[in-house]
Amino acid sequence: MPLSPLDHDRRHGELDQVMRAYAGQPADDTPERAGQALTAYLRHTWHTRPGALAVAEQQLREYAEHPPGRLRQRLGEFYALPDVGLADGEIQPWLLCLADHLRRSVEEGEVPAPAAPATHWEWHARFPELGQFLGGWFSQDMPDEFADHDAAVDHYRAATDPQLVARLVGELHELLALDLDESDYAVAVAELGMEVDPPAPYSPSGWLALVADRLAGARPEYEPRP
């Protein structure tokens, strides 16, 4: 039978996080240089869950040195690595390369400097509630579901636990503190799931600031669209 959620997380939970960091990214790491995906994983994890790095190193090395055999594959009791664009014979040395980079980062204190997210995974790992908000309330269906952007914001506020609303306000301020160019803010909201333009005449950053102020104010009463 497939691995239970508990067994999955014990054996492969952090390995899975590393693999998710490669979604849409090349597995182009070399012994001399970590690629963009692994650098993004290191940057975010060092600053949020540094203890997870040693777990990731152990799980990567264990999987590379003891890949699932035929019996475990037949029973479904194994972690299926996603396709990262490498041939079968290249997978093991690549996994060991990643483990070596993680070990060196921990043992030598090589911590990527704070920076704006560089990958889709890092945007969502750093701004999870903002991803829920933009992807859930500002998809391409938003104009059919709400009268305008303000109505969508009010619905989120009325339907969401106040603690999560407060977390979103914090993430909005953190994103604005990155002080990106407007074109980069447009990329950021698109990466986080927004599929409609901000309302005129606001730029992406101007609208995000407006949303932060609206959510931090008095709790509105949501009025459904007529």
Least confident of 11-15, 125-129, 193-197: 11-15
d(CA 14, CA 60): 9
* pLDDT for residue 226 is more than 60: no
Question: Do 153 and 219 touch, CB atoms closer than 8 A?
Answer: no
d(CA 55, CA 46): 13
d(CA 184, CA 192): 12
Q: Which residue has the higher pLDDT, 176 or 83?
A: 176
With b for 16 or more beta-carbon neighbours within 10 A and e for fewer, the 132-146 pattern comes to bbbeebbeeebeeeb
* pLDDT for residue 79 is more than 90: no
CA-wise closest residue to 121 among 86, 172, 82:
82
Residue 10 binned pLDDT confidence (cut-offs 50, 70, 90): confident
Answer yes or no: pTM beyond 0.95.
no
Residue 75 binned pLDDT confidence (cut-offs 50, 70, 90): very low
